[in-house]
Amino acid sequence: MSFAVIGIFVAASVLAGICIAAIKAPEGDGDHGHGHGHHGHGHH
For residue 24, which of 36, 12, 33 has the smallest C-alpha distance? 33
Sequential pLDDT tens for the chain (44 residues): 799 999 999 999 999 988 888 887 666 555 554 555 544 455 55
* Predicted pLDDT at 7: 94
* Predicted pLDDT at 14: 94
Distances from the Cα of 41 to the Cα of 23, 32, 35, angstroms: 23, 15, 10
pTM for this model (two decimals): 0.45
The number of distinct structural domains making up the chain is 1
Supply the range of the domain harboring residue 10.
Answer: 2-41
* Predicted pLDDT at 1: 72
